[in-house]
Amino acid sequence: MLSMTNEGVKKTAAFFTREIERLSKGRSLRLMEVCGTHTVSIFKSGIRQLLPEHVELVSGPGCPVCVTPNEYLDTAIAYSRKSDVMITTFGDMLKVPGSSSTLAQEKAQGSDIRIVYSSLEALEFAEKNPDKKVIFLAVGFETTAPTAAAAILMASEARCTNFYVLSAHKLVPPALRSLLASGESHVDGFLLPGHVSAIIGLQPYEFLSTEYHIPGVVAGFEPLDILQSVYMLIQQVHDQTARLENQYSRIVPKVGNPSACAILSQVYQQSDAVWRGLGKIPDSGMSIRAKYQAFDALLNIPIVVEETKEASHCQCGKVLRGLLLPSACLLFGKACRPEHPIGSCMVSVEGTCAAWYKYGAGRWQV
């Protein structure tokens, strides 16, 4: 599919579009993607405009920055104010609002905050700055968690005593279960994240079909990948069946990546975690095992954190549950913009509100 000529791509896209129209005729369907990369790709390629009006694509909790709760941000900000601490973080965390500040504001006021591109780079900062307690903000899903686990293993082997991790890693399948169990978000099928699935494989999603009779398709990220995945979901709905399918089989093996999963299991254990908009979800987080707790920032560096407050009128929670389109939020495109975000969904490039603002409804409401 990726090696097609432009003419071949057009013909294939036209075929999927016709079949989606035919199979969905007379039905109103809601399909949810739970990956920020899918969200952006759908907007950039104009897939919504290709689909019939009665087939709605909604975004779920697929952006790790977006689902990170204020309490975590407040904790990171509190650590950044300590003179003997260096914060290392991915760049998209800088502008995420906490209860009263952001990491970007703290950096401007003199806090030692460094942008890194991997957890291993954070470990390098620790090795080069032995007088600092270097804390890596470990935010992400199953895709990035193995690299943080690898950094902890390397720090342990090197006996690096000033490297710490503030973990906010989360697991996608428990969040999907929570969405369905709540009965709040009506979804006819899930476009499942290709990157996450390349790590965990297919088995963790089987409950979608076996327990909830909801179709799921692991989808790639090219426009044709997504169109084909939508077609596969609607085919299942039309046939009144529900199963787990893998459109992205060229990248995602059924068993995922056993080596990455082994590193995760060695360093982390499942634990309850708080998700923005979804609350506390059992077994949806990853906490550091006792053997490696010397690298757990919360257990080793005392900190007092301010009382957590949510931004008034911010609707990120409802957006993340697929209950509200960004354009329906009173702040969207007005008080809340990428250069001045009120909520986390407007910060990350993969955030639903940021994607709507850049590629979609934001153009019409400014």
End-to-end C-alpha distance for the chain, whole angstroms: 38
The CA distance from 31 to 76, in Å, is: 35
pLDDT of amino acid 366: 37
| Backbone φ, ψ for residue 187 (5° rounding) | -135, 135
Q: Which residue has the higher pLDDT, 26 or 290?
A: 290
Task: Categorize the per-residue pLDDT at 3 as very low, low, confident or very high, splitting at 50, 70 and 90.
Answer: low
Averaged pLDDT, 141-154: 97
The pTM of this model reads 0.93
Task: Categorize the per-residue pLDDT at 4 as very low, low, confident or very high, splitting at 50, 70 and 90.
Answer: low
- For all residues of the chain together, what is the average pLDDT? 94
Q: What CATH architecture is 27-311?
A: 3-Layer(aba) Sandwich (3.40)
List pLDDT tens digits, range 195-242: 999 999 999 999 999 999 999 999 999 999 999 999 999 999 999 999
pLDDT of amino acid 66: 95
The domain ranges of the chain are 27-311, 315-360
Of 253, 208, 247, nearest in space to 231 by CA: 247
The CA distance from 100 to 39, in Å, is: 29
* Cβ atoms < 10 Å from Cβ of 97: 23
pLDDT-above-70 percentage for the chain: 97
| Backbone φ, ψ for residue 105 (5° rounding) | -65, -40
SS3 at position 46 = coil
Task: Categorize the per-residue pLDDT at 6 as very low, low, confident or very high, splitting at 50, 70 and 90.
Answer: confident
Lowest mean pLDDT among 43-57, 58-72, 113-127, 350-364: 350-364
List pLDDT tens digits, range 89-111: 999 999 999 999 999 999 999 99
Averaged pLDDT, 120-134: 98
The CA distance from 167 to 187, in Å, is: 30
Averaged pLDDT, 185-198: 96
pLDDT of amino acid 74: 97
Of 357, 274, 288, nearest in space to 317 by CA: 274
